[in-house]
Structure 1
Amino acid sequence: MKIFAARLAGTSVFDPAGDQIGRIRDVVVGLRGSRPPSVHGMVVEVQPRRRVFLPITRVRGIEAGAVIFTGKLNVRRFEKRTTETLVVGEMLDLAVTVGGQQMTVYDVAMEETKPSIWEITSVAVYRGRRRREARVVDWGEVAGFDVLQKDQGTAGLIASFESMRAADLASALHELSGKRRLEVARALDDDRLADVLEEMPPRDQIGILSTLEPERAADVLEEMGPDDAADLLHDLPPEEAARLLALMEPGEAAPVRRLLTYPQDTAGGMMTSEPVILPPTATVAEALANIRLKDLTPAIAAQVYVTRPPTETPTGAYLGVSHFQRLLRDPPSTLLGAALDPSIDPIRPELRLPDVAAYLANYNLVAAPVVDELGRLVGAVTVDDVLDHMLPKDWRERLHP
């Protein structure tokens, strides 16, 4: 039975007891010239974002949506040997020759040729940008896997990443070679790249952003949350940050500029300037419709902030907050002005990180309104913002040493 390796990406991995321990992220093979490559094993991502090696000899079953293994899994971090190749990370999108024609690889198939012995026996290829003449050929018909290519395509690799969450894709990109990482980053659309950059260590963020054309870098910053964009610009040299801000649309740059005026370890420096804000004349039904938006994080969607117009930060006079649990209890026609929680006081932008953390913990909150000296809502601090700033600055890098 042929198993196409790229389709395994994201497949759940189960131990002998039936417990899920991670997901397949890649397949490790050893090239052997004209002979079919031997499959050494699989790269499995376990929490927290640690990639470990599962030898192919431990695999006892590959089914739809599941890989089952036997024995114990060594949790030592996977390190690729110089004689090994990653199917998803390195073989997809390679330009190869089949019968004198230049083709592109979009998948490879492995088979169990002997008990517990797996080999790459077939290659799925296509011609041109629109996947003309797509077909599956034997490994022996293909030449070019051993040639170093300066500009490798990305379509197949990106397709294998399509269903990944942004945090998982950030982890996958971190594990690629620097060259491959930049090729994929450049090929992602602005919105997807922005989501991924928000989940990356500062070193990776800066490395990718600095290779983009300045106009493209500004477009990506516009797609990021203002607080994440501000954090990234804080890590850039001042002159480069100023240049990118100047290239951003004025309306997109304005909230980022405001956030940059606050120290990073204060409520103002951590907050998002785009929480869910509605006037007191809006109804509970309207509030629920707003927090249902799929792009909102759970912490942002947990509550609605009620202010006088305008309802973009900095708003009119801040009136209060209504939690989603209260919204679920009240009739849909209830006005938000009558559904406020009077027990939650706002915090000031200058409040320091330890005090913000203590405030959230003391009142069991996932977010808190931030109000300036004029009584205007300027943003909201969420528990994930606080965690991000309380953890060591290199915490994302520690997940990928």
Structure 2
Amino acid sequence: MSPVNRVFAAQLAGLPVFGPDGESIGKVRDLVVGLRLDQQPPRVLGLVVELSTRRRVFVPMLRVTSIDPNAVTLATGSVNMRRFHQRPNEVLVLGQLTDAHAHLRENGTRVTVVDAAMEPVRTRDWVLVKLAVRERTGRLGLGRRRSSLQVVAWGDVAGLGLTDLAGQPQGAGQLLMLFDTMRAVDIAATVRDLPTKRRHEVADSMDDERLADVLEELPEEDQKELLQHLSEERAADILEAMNPDDAADLLAELAPADQSRLLELMEPEESEPVRRLLAYSSDTAGGLMTPEPVVLTPDTTVAEALAHIRNADLPAALATMVFVCRPPTATPTGRYVGVVHFQRLLREPPAEIVASAVDTDLPALRPSAPLAEVTRYFAAYNLACGPVVDEQDHLLGAVTVDDVLDHLLPEGWRETGLHDVTNKEEVERA
């Protein structure tokens, strides 16, 4: 298939990037352009490529040999592994330019930038020559149609200078549409790399559930910064939508006065499990656990148990076992009986009750167990999830292996990715 000569940024986003021998490099996440003082189209400096480690790196456009509808190919499989950092004269097309407000030079019509297209020129450079814009007509009312999309030359639009983009409010419609196809962890990586103003605009436009998912994947400092940007009422709503253990970890990083105020704003049934978790040190089983595992009574059928772990919203680690307890089944539960591993459930007749398949030999963790003991426990019993039980045999919650890994990895691992390798070549961006 022949390479294309005009590429819109929205079409480029998410395309796989390959080396000359077909080796996978990563995915395109944005375009970097250098804005000019005159009205000439800006030069596209390069691509922001997300590697498999979720690290985002800069790839100069001179390294790009072809852009096809389904892939981008580089002249070399070797890329600079230094993490991408935006420079003062640079603008991210998807992160900053799309959804920006501007106006047409000819008649002053107010427009919103929906997309941008780049084309190659004789010098082998790519330039941003076209903008897809939509007229801003105010709030859509009854009987009013949405304004039509038009593609205009870069020079026909005013109000897109560096100072313009820094000072104006932007919508987040285009980014949110891109986020629909991305995992929360990948959205978090995108949000983390956005300028602060743009990051806040995106957070303001997200619904509570989605923002809660993304917040759970951000480093602590970014979590705190975003939470402090939100109004206290919305911050409390976001904390309610988060997993209780993640909400507790975030609240533990706040000043005591802020922590207390947000807990008071949360609904009592949502804040209670979070308060219980805050009573434990973060590096103990009690601080690591989630208070919402799958808890069933002994007379529950195997078919019902399988239905519970088929829940798409249940994290994979929590779906590896169900916990059998006497009523009540909300943590802290009645007397803890044992666990049933999901593989055992698959081997049992659907009408059988879970009491007949309970593993009573698996030891339980105490909430005071330190991280080292929890780690040895998971390694010894080859588990993805384990029970936390108090001295009165009440199930308090469950620790999952992902939470253990989160505390074992070096501090700041979310920012640096899994590898911290720097290529000898330093890419210069003019």
Offset from partner CA, 1:72-93 (integer Å, 9 cap, x none): 2222222333332110111111
The separation in 2 between residues aligned to 1:272 and 1:157, in whole angstroms, is 32
**Correspondent of 1:22 among 16, 19, 26:** 26
The separation in 2 between residues aligned to 1:338 and 1:136, in whole angstroms, is 67
**Correspondent of 2:400 among 366, 382, 391:** 382
TM-score (norm 1): 0.95
Preserved contact between residue 31 and residue 46 of structure 2 (Cα < 8 Å): yes
Matches within 5 A, 1:161-180: 161-180=179-198
Preserved contact between residue 88 and residue 160 of structure 1 (Cα < 8 Å): no
Where structure 2 has 5 or more consecutive residues not aligned to the other structure, the ranges are 141-145, 421-430
Which residue identity lines up with residue 189 of structure 1 in the other structure?
Answer: D
Q: 2:17 aligned with 1:13, yes or no?
A: yes
Q: Give the count of matched residue pairs.
A: 401
Which residue identity lines up with residue 31 of structure 1 in the other structure?
Answer: L
Name the SS of the counterpart of 1:73 in structure 2. coil
- Identity rate, percent: 53
Q: 2:117 aligned with 1:109, yes or no?
A: yes
2:135 corresponds in structure 1 to 127
Q: 2:208 aligned with 1:190, yes or no?
A: yes
Q: 2:47 aligned with 1:38, yes or no?
A: no
**Correspondent of 1:81 among 55, 62, 87:** 87
The separation in 2 between residues aligned to 1:340 and 1:115, in whole angstroms, is 71
Preserved contact between residue 337 and residue 360 of structure 2 (Cα < 8 Å): no
Query: Over aligned residues, Cα RMSD in angstroms?
Result: 1.8
The separation in 2 between residues aligned to 1:133 and 1:158, in whole angstroms, is 20
The separation in 2 between residues aligned to 1:285 and 1:57, in whole angstroms, is 58
Displacement after TM superposition at 1:134 (Å):
1.9
Matches within 5 A, 1:66-77: 66-71=71-76, 72-77=78-83
Name the SS of the counterpart of 1:80 in structure 2. coil
Name the SS of the counterpart of 2:229 in structure 1. coil
1:60 corresponds in structure 2 to 65
Displacement after TM superposition at 1:113 (Å):
3.3
The separation in 1 between residues aligned to 2:408 and 2:82, in whole angstroms, is 27
The separation in 2 between residues aligned to 1:324 and 1:19, in whole angstroms, is 37
- Which moves more between the two structures, 202-211 or 13-22? 13-22
1:241 corresponds in structure 2 to 259
The separation in 1 between residues aligned to 2:242 and 2:325, in whole angstroms, is 25
Offset from partner CA, 1:327-347 (integer Å, 9 cap, x none): 222222221111222331211
**Correspondent of 1:140 among 146, 149, 155:** 155
**Correspondent of 2:331 among 313, 317, 320:** 313
Return the structure number with greater strand share. Answer: 1
Preserved contact between residue 115 and residue 133 of structure 2 (Cα < 8 Å): yes
Which residue identity lines up with residue 11 of structure 1 in the other structure?
Answer: L
- Which moves more between the two structures, 233-242 or 10-19? 10-19
Matches within 5 A, 1:203-352: 203-352=221-370
Name the SS of the counterpart of 1:298 in structure 2. coil
Displacement after TM superposition at 1:115 (Å):
7.1
Displacement after TM superposition at 1:106 (Å):
1.3
The separation in 2 between residues aligned to 1:116 and 1:288, in whole angstroms, is 58
